[in-house]
């Protein structure tokens, strides 16, 4: 058995096309959806993510802008940009690109974002609303995974789900969304005893711990759906040979690096029933849900103005 590949790129394209008409409608009402991004420092990966997000905005007719601050920026510097975006009616969504440099208090900065513009779903008010099953905005990666499961007609209700990783950005909101969809959810982490055995209980396994190729065949129940959230850069030849499928190893030899997930794809694809690829799986959905949240924020601003 070879796992069915869950194409995140195709699903993301569908979501973005569905948003196009609403963007046009809101623009006609004078509320062109706008996303304001704060980028601090020169982290190459962050810069790539931000460019892809703003380019996606422009392709849909949305407004996207980025305020670039130096790596030496203080918490006050970042907070000032957030305050400006909070006050601007043409900015409906605010994204503070993480990670921030160590001298910047990320918690304080994220707490300053207007919850009505918190399209990343990180503000404690929005997290609390998710806990109570009345969400405004949900963290984009977990929300994108739920879209992927729904659009590929993968049932969640009544199934055993295991989430490996307990971050505020992915693991915790993922567990809540699955629980709200009537799955029985276990959250695993570095202190979990006999992790492979716990993972093998899952009909639906979400790997989000940030360790390249950590989840292997012995972690996977035959036929399980495996969602790979990881994005890790690999430059070591021996590691790449272990983690990559043959066709991707040829790409590695040409470029000198490869992006891999938290799942050991060569072994897991022989056991799982379905698997998301890296790249091209969860990543495009994260951006699509960021756009969707920004459009929803713009729509809410129009509704508020009309009431």
Q: How far is CA 66 from CA 56, 69, 104, 111, 267, in A?
A: 13, 10, 18, 20, 40
Residue 195 lies in a domain: yes
Are residue 89 and residue 151 in the same domain, yes or no?
no
Are residue 110 and residue 208 in the same domain, yes or no?
no
Q: Which of 118, 120, 228, 262 is catalytic?
A: 120
Indicate the length of the chain as a whole number.
307
Inform me whether the pLDDT recorded for 307 exceeds 70: no
DSSP string, 265-296: HHHHTTT-SEE--SSSSHHHHHHHHHHHHHHH
Are residue 181 and residue 262 in the same domain, yes or no?
yes
pLDDT tens, position by position, 76-89:
999 999 999 999 99
pLDDT tens, position by position, 203-215:
999 999 999 999 9
Q: What pTM value is reported for the model?
A: 0.95
The rounded distance, in Å, linking the Cα atoms of 148 and 95 is: 23
Residue 52 lies in a domain: yes
Active-site residue flag, 120: yes
Q: How far is CA 175 from CA 163, 169, 210, 265, in A?
A: 7, 11, 17, 23
Q: Say what the pLDDT of residue 45 is.
A: 80
What is the pLDDT confidence band of residue 49, given thresholds at 50, 70 and 90? confident
User: What CATH number is associated with residue 190?
Assistant: 3.40.50.720
Q: What is the mean pLDDT of the chain?
A: 96
Q: Say what the pLDDT of residue 303 is.
A: 85
Q: State the chain's maximal CA–CA distance in angstroms.
A: 62
Are residue 245 and residue 164 in the same domain, yes or no?
yes
User: Mean per-residue pLDDT for 54-69?
Assistant: 95
Q: For every residue of 30-55, which 3-state class applies, written as one string?
A: CCCCEEEEEEECCCHHHHHHHHHHHH
Active-site residue flag, 221: no
* Count of CB atoms situated within 10 Å of the CB of 304: 9
pLDDT tens, position by position, 132-156:
999 999 999 999 999 999 999 999 9
Are residue 72 and residue 195 in the same domain, yes or no?
no
Phi first, then psi: what are they for 254, rounded to 5°? -80, -40
Q: Which of 97, 221, 262, 292 is catalytic?
A: 97
Domain count, the chain: 2
Are residue 183 and residue 234 in the same domain, yes or no?
yes
The rounded distance, in Å, linking the Cα atoms of 137 and 122 is: 9
Residue range of the domain that includes 74: 31-115
Are residue 166 and residue 276 in the same domain, yes or no?
yes
Active-site residue flag, 9: no
User: What CATH number is associated with residue 35?
Assistant: 3.40.50.10860
Place of tokens 């890296």: 278
């Amino acid at each position: 058995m070879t796992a069915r590949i869950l194409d995140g790129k195709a699903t993301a394209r569908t979501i973005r096309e569905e948003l196009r008409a609403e963007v046009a409608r809101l623009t006609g009402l004078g509320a062109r959806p706008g996303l304001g991004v704060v980028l601090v420092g020169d982290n190459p990966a962050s810069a790539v993510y931000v460019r892809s997000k703003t380019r996606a905005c422009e392709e849909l007719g949305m407004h996207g802008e980025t305020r670039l601050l130096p790596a030496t920026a203080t918490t006050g510097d970042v907070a000032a940009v957030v305050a400006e975006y909070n006050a601007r009616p043409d900015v409906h969504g605010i994204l503070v690109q993480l990670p921030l440099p160590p001298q910047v208090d990320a918690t304080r900065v994220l707490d300053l974002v207007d919850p009505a513009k918190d399209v990343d779903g990180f503000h404690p008010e929005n997290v609390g609303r998710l806990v109570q099953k009345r969400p405004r905005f949900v963290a984009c990666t977990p929300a994108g995974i739920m879209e992927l499961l729904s659009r590929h007609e993968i049932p969640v209700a009544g199934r055993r789900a295991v989430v490996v990783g307990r971050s505020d950005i992915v693991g915790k909101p993922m567990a809540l969304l699955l629980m709200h969809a009537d799955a029985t959810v276990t959250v695993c982490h570095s202190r979990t005893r006999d992790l492979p055995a716990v993972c093998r209980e899952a009909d639906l396994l979400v790997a989000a711990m940030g360790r390249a190729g950590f989840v292997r065949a012995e972690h996977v129940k035959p036929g399980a759906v495996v969602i790979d959230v990881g994005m890790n850069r690999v430059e070591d030849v021996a590691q790449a040979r272990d983690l990559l499928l043959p066709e991707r190893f040829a790409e590695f030899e040409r470029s000198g690096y490869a992006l891999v997930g938290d799942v050991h794809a060569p072994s897991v694809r022989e056991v799982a029933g379905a698997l998301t690829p890296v790249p091209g799986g969860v990543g495009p959905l994260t951006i699509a849900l960021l756009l969707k949240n920004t459009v929803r924020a713009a729509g809410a601003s129009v509704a508020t103005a009309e009431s």
